[in-house]
């Protein structure tokens, strides 16, 4: 019985460490420093336009938890989804975004709502 408990605890520690590693990798990367052509290939808009959009949406995209996603990352995930029309799981893993499907879904849903509410596109 004790051996089983030890195995369960080791597995929990391994999962927590893996989650922390992913979070550190994700948070340390600045996707806005990608070369212009590569950024356009992933997101279909320029860095400047996306940064301007993030500035407008930032007050509405604040982290819910200390471990939450930054406003920049939330917008990048949503725009990557729009640009590629892909499924949510691959979108979170593309371009080193390193996000699982549930937060990818939340980013897309929240960013879509806020873009519709706060951004106006010129025709």
> DSSP string spanning 33-99?
GS-HHHHHHHHSS-HHHHHHHHHHHGGGS--SSTTPPPHHHHHHHHHHHHHH---HHHHHHGGG---
pLDDT score recorded for residue 89: 53
Separation CA 33–CA 36 (nearest Å): 8
Separation CA 12–CA 14 (nearest Å): 5
And the tokens for 79? Answer: 């725009």
pLDDT score recorded for residue 66: 60
Q: Which residues of the chain have pLDDT under 50?
A: none
pLDDT score recorded for residue 7: 92
Q: Is the pTM of this model over 0.85?
A: no
């Amino acid at each position: 019985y004790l051996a089983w408990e030890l195995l369960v605890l080791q597995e929990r520690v391994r999962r927590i460490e893996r989650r922390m590693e992913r979070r550190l990798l994700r948070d340390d990367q600045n996707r806005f420093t990608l070369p212009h052509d590569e950024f356009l290939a992933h997101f279909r808009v320029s860095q400047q336009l996306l940064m301007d959009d993030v500035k407008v949406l930032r007050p509405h995209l604040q982290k819910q938890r200390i471990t939450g996603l930054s406003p920049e990352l939330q917008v990048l995930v949503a725009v990557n989804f729009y640009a590629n029309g892909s499924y949510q799981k691959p979108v979170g893993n593309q371009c080193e975004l390193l996000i699982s499907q549930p937060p990818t879904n939340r980013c897309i849903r929240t960013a879509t709502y806020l873009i519709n509410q706060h951004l106006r596109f010129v025709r």
